[in-house]
Structure 1
Amino acid sequence: MKLIKVILIVLMLIGFQSGVMYAQDADSTEEKTEKGKKKGKKDKVKKDDGKIEKSGKGEGIVKYRRSSLHTMIIEDEKLPKASLILKSFNEAPFPDKYNDHTVGNKSFNLTKYYVAPPAPADGEKTKKKDQKNLAPSVDKYLKDNKVANKIVAKWFSRAEDGTFNMDLIGERGSYDASSQDAATANSTERGAAMLADAGEDLIGVTFVVVNYSKFIANEPIAKEVRDALYATVKDQADDALGRTIIEKGADKVYEKTKDGYIVLTTAYLYQLQWTDSMAAVFYQDLWHDSSAPDSARKEAFDITDLFELKFLGFQKAKSFIAGLSKNAEDVEAVIKGATIKSVNAVYAKLQKKFEAFRTKTPLVSAKPLGAKIGLKEGLEGGDKYEVLEKTIDAEGKVKWKRKGVIKVDKNKIWNNQYNVGDGEQLDEDGKPIKSNGVEFTHFKGGKGYYPGMLLRQIN
């Protein structure tokens, strides 16, 4: 029995050291409870989830929509360095692959919106994963503050008197077309209007990411693991050799893991729901513009529950800090860097887990094939990207045609991570990141590509 305990504790330690990716799909519970399905199979349901979609077999014509994003962080005054982490988040650059769709506050206090996990049946203890899950608290904040309404209001450039216009939608719709393509479309009145109206397709790929970052010292965790290992052999007086082996092993693990700190970030991902029926209600019952302001419609929009944000799931990522100096300015700089790296890493994991949230990026070089994405975006050798070429059809609609698939060159991945302090850069597990001197990530495969084509990850 004691041997089993030792094995379990060692497995826990391995998880602590290796920076395992944590993930939870919000729909996973529903999938398990659905009846009549064969194990391992899923229903094929076509969702309007904002990803690049094939319009059919063969050539694979695709439609491109740039996603928009509102980011927030949860304030938790009980955590160490809480104010410094909050400041670091607020000063961090906005993710440059998304439209900045910031609405209202960038943070909220956890104590005001905390939702305790439901009490388990039969007097059992609440599971740790339920205690740590802040999705119900985030849900409460988003609903109580009508964040979905605010997102829609920004899309339609809502004025103080409640009137709407299409300026932002037109601007972002045109932004997604290159200047040359826009000129082609603008050669006809219908084409120009279509480019502006196409911006409505962007609304449904608007996301909210709510972050929760913690500053954690490694030593207490390492000590707890060591002490737990000690406890498993405490009473083994008749097996002195076995006890000595376990204790020496525990000491080695402790020495290896006790130094440094971690900034651990959990990111909760939400997507704005925007359907044809919602749009119909909006235009018929809530829309009014400057030509005919309507106070009743203004009030109706303020109180409507028509709009909602759907919880997709969460991811976790961490950034390792080797140590902190006694200089306050250095400490602030290091923690700021670690916070930014942690947030960037968790966004990369969200993109890999949820297709709708994945970004697109242009080729910047044809020989060699290259793009300005790298370690910050979570790239790994062998990752596959489809290459898309932009065209405009006879009706003025922007289309994207798949031209091929390329892979990340594992030896030439751009290190674009935020540098923590002046020392060497470290990965999630505290291991040094070697510089390869490249200024953009290189890809392998295919011919006939040129700068300006879009890349989109497919695995």
Structure 2
Amino acid sequence: MKLIKIAVITVVFLGFQNGVVYAQDAEVKDAKTEKKIKEKKDSGKIEKSGKGEGVVKYRRSSLHTMIIEDEKLPKKELLLKSFTEAPFPDKYNNHTVGDKSFKLADYYVTPPVAEGEKAKKKDQKNYAPSIDKYLKDNKIANEMVAKWFNRSAEGTFDISLIAERGMYDATAQDAAKANSTERGLAMLADAGEDLIRTTFCVVNYSKFVENEPIARAIKEAAYALVEDQSEESFARVLAEGAADGMYKKTKDGYSVWTTAYLYQLQWTDSMSAVFYQDLWNDASAPDPARVEAFNKSDLFELKLLGFQKAQSFIAGTSKKAENMEAVIKAATVKSIDAVYAKLQKKFEAFRTKTPLTSAKPLGAKIGLKEGLEGGDKYEVLMKTIDAEGKVKWKRKGVIKVDKNKIWNNMYSVGDGPHLDEKGKPMKSNGVEFTHFKGGKGYYQGMLLRQIN
């Protein structure tokens, strides 16, 4: 039994060393069967499926990101700098509104408890109520709707951003401006369903945790398991030796822990009706009363879908301040990338689409940064146009990530090389894009969307 416990402790050490990503489970499962097809030997080069194909145009979800400022945390300023300088997730439209951060102390909501009792630690660290308060007090949902309709300083709206992101033709735009014709109403309804409803806000809470106290506690726990055995016992020598070794490897530096709260902008048919009838303010006939009505309206809201957690381990810190800053910045970005990948895997509404950039072999420009693992399943979507002229994406089949050919797109982030846990530049694994297995008849320009 003690040997089993020792093994468990060793696993804990290894998990701590490698920066295991943890995630809060969500109720998102989509089990599909697929036909097994023998994989052909591929050349590793991108083969275009047709001549004259340009960039694939498709509608993306829109995103606003924020981070919580906690004055109690060490290296707060460096953390904020790392977040604000990190590249914006390129699979989303940048829908930033207002500030990128807020102070926790200004909006902290104390957990309700019975008289004489103390709040549980997990409730004290649940920042969803505090985020809710910030979002409501500052009417962030209103700001996100206002951005969709390109609200001017005078409070008037237009549909230029919707037309751009929705890729509507000029005829549809003119009809929508009239807001009366059947074509115009259809466009606005389509925009609400396919664009506004896929607008999200992610609020991050990141913290630096010193590794040494955690490493020491794990070491002491391992020692305690074998303290009743003789000093010459093989099991004791093995356990204490492993504990000492892992302590030395993990005691220096920090771990960056990130919790990301995912919110979705609500946009229902009834909300849409009230907006267009009572709040829409056209530039051709500005109405100050409608400006005030929109500013005070509580019609719009952001709904919490859930949260995820991720950890990034920093094995040590350099003596040079600039190197230390680079390592911590890289770990912060890595932690945020990991938690976004978990959000996408667990919440179907938040999943992104990715163009198929190669047909032979099947490949796409997504990789380790997006949390890909061998065997991950993706549905292949084919562009179709319905009777009303709307673009729809229909499932063509299902493919799997080839575990041996996953693109390491973490080695280059922003303007410089991405650093590993020891502060050294990451190296490319030689794979230019992630390869997939399964299916046939696919071509460049189809879209991929994860289903597990």
State the shift of 1:304 in Å: 1.1
Q: Name the structure 1 match of 2:54.
A: none
The CA distance in 1 between the partners of 2:280 and 2:337, in whole Å, is 37
Residues 64-213 of structure 1 aligned to structure 2 (within 5 Å): 65-119=59-113, 123=117, 125-174=118-167, 198-201=190-193, 202-213=195-206
Preserved CA contact (<8 Å) 2:368 2:408: yes
The CA distance in 1 between the partners of 2:380 and 2:222, in whole Å, is 52
The answer to which of 293-302 and 317-326 deviates more is 317-326
Change (3 A) 1:185 1:426: farther
State the shift of 1:94 in Å: 0.7
The 3-state SS of whatever aligns with 1:456 is strand
The CA distance in 2 between the partners of 1:94 and 1:423, in whole Å, is 16
The CA distance in 2 between the partners of 1:192 and 1:407, in whole Å, is 40
State the shift of 1:216 in Å: 2.1
Q: Name the structure 2 match of 1:23.
A: 24
Superposed CA deviations along residues 267-311 of structure 1, whole A, max 9, x for unmatched, are 110001110011111111111211121111111111111111111
The CA distance in 1 between the partners of 2:381 and 2:236, in whole Å, is 61
Q: Which runs of 5+ in 2 are unaligned?
A: 29-57
State the shift of 1:334 in Å: 1.6
Q: Which runs of 5+ in 1 are unaligned?
A: 29-63, 176-181
Change (3 A) 1:222 1:359: same
The CA distance in 1 between the partners of 2:12 and 2:437, in whole Å, is 38
Q: Name the structure 1 match of 2:353.
A: 360
The CA distance in 2 between the partners of 1:120 and 1:7, in whole Å, is 42
The CA distance in 1 between the partners of 2:259 and 2:437, in whole Å, is 33
Q: Name the structure 2 match of 1:47.
A: none
Preserved CA contact (<8 Å) 2:411 2:426: no
State the shift of 1:98 in Å: 0.5
State the shift of 1:81 in Å: 1.5
Superposed CA deviations along residues 62-98 of structure 1, whole A, max 9, x for unmatched, are xx85210000011112212110110111111111111
Among candidates 365, 371, 374, match of residue 364 of structure 2:
371
The CA distance in 2 between the partners of 1:380 and 1:24, in whole Å, is 17
| RMSD of aligned Cα (Å) | 3.5
The CA distance in 2 between the partners of 1:413 and 1:361, in whole Å, is 15
The CA distance in 2 between the partners of 1:348 and 1:333, in whole Å, is 22
Superposed CA deviations along residues 209-258 of structure 1, whole A, max 9, x for unmatched, are 00111122211211122334556777x5x966679556555434423432
State the shift of 1:259 in Å: 3.5
The 3-state SS of whatever aligns with 1:224 is helix
Change (3 A) 1:191 1:268: same
The 3-state SS of whatever aligns with 1:78 is coil
Change (3 A) 1:218 1:351: same
**Number of matched residues?**
412
The CA distance in 2 between the partners of 1:405 and 1:160, in whole Å, is 47
Change (3 A) 1:298 1:183: closer
Q: Name the structure 1 match of 2:314.
A: 321
Q: Between the two structures, name the one with larger relative contact order (CA 8 Å, sep ≥ 6).
A: 2
Change (3 A) 1:250 1:331: closer
Preserved CA contact (<8 Å) 1:375 1:413: yes
Q: Name the structure 2 match of 1:440.
A: 433
Preserved CA contact (<8 Å) 1:191 1:396: no
Residues 161-310 of structure 1 aligned to structure 2 (within 5 Å): 161-174=154-167, 198-201=190-193, 202-230=195-223, 247-248=240-241, 250-310=243-303
Superposed CA deviations along residues 393-427 of structure 1, whole A, max 9, x for unmatched, are 33211122221111111111000015599797459
Kindly provide the amino acid, as one letter, of the partner of residue 441 in structure 2: G
The CA distance in 2 between the partners of 1:173 and 1:278, in whole Å, is 20
Change (3 A) 1:445 1:422: closer
The CA distance in 2 between the partners of 1:130 and 1:308, in whole Å, is 23
2:409 is the alignment partner of 1:408: no
Q: Percent identity?
A: 70
Kindly provide the amino acid, as one letter, of the partner of residue 80 in structure 1: P
The CA distance in 2 between the partners of 1:196 and 1:364, in whole Å, is 31
Preserved CA contact (<8 Å) 1:170 1:195: no
The 3-state SS of whatever aligns with 2:102 is strand
Q: Name the structure 2 match of 1:311.
A: 304
State the shift of 1:263 in Å: 1.5
Change (3 A) 1:140 1:7: farther
The CA distance in 1 between the partners of 2:15 and 2:376, in whole Å, is 24
Kindly provide the amino acid, as one letter, of the partner of residue 338 in structure 1: A
Change (3 A) 1:321 1:283: same
The CA distance in 2 between the partners of 1:168 and 1:65, in whole Å, is 12
Among candidates 333, 339, 349, match of residue 340 of structure 1:
333
Kindly provide the amino acid, as one letter, of the partner of residue 114 in structure 1: Y
The CA distance in 2 between the partners of 1:326 and 1:155, in whole Å, is 47
Kindly provide the amino acid, as one letter, of the partner of residue 368 in structure 2: L
The 3-state SS of whatever aligns with 2:167 is helix
TM-score, normalised via structure 1 length: 0.79
The CA distance in 1 between the partners of 2:308 and 2:13, in whole Å, is 20
Superposed CA deviations along residues 161-205 of structure 1, whole A, max 9, x for unmatched, are 211111111111108xxxxxx69999x999996667633321011
Kindly provide the amino acid, as one letter, of the partner of residue 79 in structure 1: L
The 3-state SS of whatever aligns with 2:358 is strand
Preserved CA contact (<8 Å) 1:337 1:418: no
Superposed CA deviations along residues 144-177 of structure 1, whole A, max 9, x for unmatched, are 11100100111111112211111111111108xx
Preserved CA contact (<8 Å) 2:379 2:397: yes
